[in-house]
């Protein structure tokens, strides 16, 4: 379960890079922000993974 969530976080970080590229290229800000929302969810999951790993140790 930890690993599944960790992979999800990895995808999330890719989305974060996408958002940065999107803004740099002057993409539609609304579209960029939509992806940014996913990044927020991603950070929540990252915290979950941290807790998960602590309990595993």
- Residue-wise pLDDT tens digits, 4-36: 777 777 777 777 777 777 777 776 667 777 766
pLDDT of residue 44: 76
Q: Helix %, strand %, coil % for the chain, to 5? A: 90, 0, 10
Residue 55: the pLDDT is: 80
What pLDDT, on a 0 to 100 scale, did the predictor assign at position 28? Answer: 66
End-to-end CA distance of the chain: 14
Q: Count other C-beta atoms under 10 Å from residue 13's C-beta.
A: 13
pTM of the model: 0.43
């Amino acid at each position: 379960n930890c690993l599944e969530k960790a992979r999800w976080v990895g995808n999330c970080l890719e989305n974060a890079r996408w958002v940065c590229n999107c803004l740099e290229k002057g993409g539609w800000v609304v579209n960029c922000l939509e992806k940014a929302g996913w990044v927020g969810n991603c950070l929540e999951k990252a915290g979950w993974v941290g807790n998960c790993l602590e309990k595993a140790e």
